[in-house]
Structure 1
């Protein structure tokens, strides 16, 4: 799933590519992905892009008074095309959800643009055309962005105070902290040497401060590694930069222990027993109680 660092890199890439370019056409291919109807999608035609930004894991492309907002969900992506296919896309079961065609440059017959795609059979991609980004329910509910000055150790302590949930779940809750998903929550907790099943409210002041520092550093480093990379390389950069997430059975790069996994109904987390749980192996949540 694209998380804060990847969406940040996508917004920077598109901010450069789209600046001043005019929309020649916007074709929906997966109707279920389009979550709004007013303004209509064809309201984008003739509008010029004037910026791209990020809200948590939401990508926001600005066109005058309109916003084309995308949440890439688990398997969505943006693919830039220097020359789009001439034939119109055909609705079906393929990955293409929307195609945005840009007006060709002067004396250039080729039309560039981008395609919003989603792999897999679980279609959760969401596309919105709105006049105000706060009209997107997920954006309106977002918590603090961890790469802003507002996200201090004191703010994190305030957010965790009284929260009886597991820290892994709190880090992933977009209404608490915006932009962190399954992968980077694993990475942050590993770097903080903290069990994913520690109760948030039980963190000491020292643990909260350490968790804050590690979270900011982990995300900032990931953003920096992705800076300037072409869109086609961002997924590979994310995977290569992860130390524990997605690396079940491999050796921990810090201590050499075997990276373990806990599976849930629709996801899994990875951790290092030596670094995070005092050597204890956490039980599979689907089969037995979790070790705290």
Structure 2
């Protein structure tokens, strides 16, 4: 009787082992679950989410930066593949009395500088309203730029800029549109006149900040000069690829809580 029980037990163990092996083999050989291939739209949505996270983490709404300006700048920075991780945004939708230049380290996810920046004298008084790519227009040019090298000019240390958008700012180099320091970019000038001073089209910055800013942006950083100007928004080929996608994701401009810079 004991022998019969042992035979049954051995048979049971053999069958169990065999079944277990087949189950494992069947599981391992089962086809992997199907995942839909990611589309460019899926990738873009991931990018949009990323810029929103960074925008919020740096408290840029409280600092007055348009979410639209940041979204476009973030996308352009990825697209243009600048050699430096530093991205600068001049938000000309804001009053010149506000600190509307933002410099962000994209690798470290840090806001490095938030300061004043001037627009061209023929672009407007307190606000920049008109923009041009033409020589001697003395107006600012919108769009994306790549920073080049420095030189010593009539304004001291200055940073050359290369306009990257054809027909929009590509004459920047021949127009001598550069970043330089100027004594009319200061809080005291604002208090005396109700606005910042204006340049001949250059994104001029304060003498207090210009060396630090130029050192950060030198040789390969990105600069984006933004406005709500319809001619630019409709004419930029770079922005055309993302405007419709962003329109459903970005915060409302009216929801921003602007704070005074002076």
Q: TM-score, normalised by structure 1?
A: 0.24
Higher relative contact order, chain-length normalized (CA < 8 Å, sep 6+): 2
Q: TM-score, normalised by structure 2?
A: 0.26
Rg larger for: 2
